[in-house]
Amino acid sequence: MRYLAAFVLGILFLGCQEKFPVYSSFCEQDERTFPKCLHYAVFNEEERDMIASAFGMKEDEACPYRVELTKYHIGNCNNPTVKSLGSDFDGYVRLEIKKDFKCYYKIQSDFKNDESRAFQRVLKKIEEERNFTK
């Protein structure tokens, strides 16, 4: 009986985990490396520092490559279908590198109830890709 209870509790905890993948891509097919400099257009200083650490580059305000952070919540959506049927996720966290308002690189992860974990997943994936592209 004890094993059955442990098994059921294990299944419940596994079913409650967020399993959202992280999607990333360079916007142009021929690009596969991060730029040599970045300008972080992120207002929250703590988030800006975390992003700079993930990319492994200090702020360069003169750099033409601009990093933008978007945290979108579905609750802000006015689509009647989403409002009536609900959604599998509550929102997403997206980081983009743009040059002249044109996408250079983007990375995104959806979230359900835990925006900060989605942000951490995005940062971790950036670090992995940065180390891979060196």
> Looking at residues 94-115, what average pLDDT do you find?
92
Look at residue 3 and tell me whether its pLDDT is greater than 60: no
46-88 pLDDT, tens digit per residue, is 999 999 999 999 999 999 999 999 998 876 555 555 454 455 6
pLDDT reported for residue 134: 56
pLDDT reported for residue 62: 95
> Looking at residues 3-17, what average pLDDT do you find?
49
Mean per-residue pLDDT over the chain, rounded:
81
Point out which residues pair with 29 in neighbouring strands.
Answer: none
pLDDT confidence of 133, banded at 50, 70, 90?
low
31-48 pLDDT, tens digit per residue, is 788 999 999 999 999 999
Question: Given phi > 0 = left and psi -120 to 50 = alpha, else beta, which region is 22?
Answer: beta
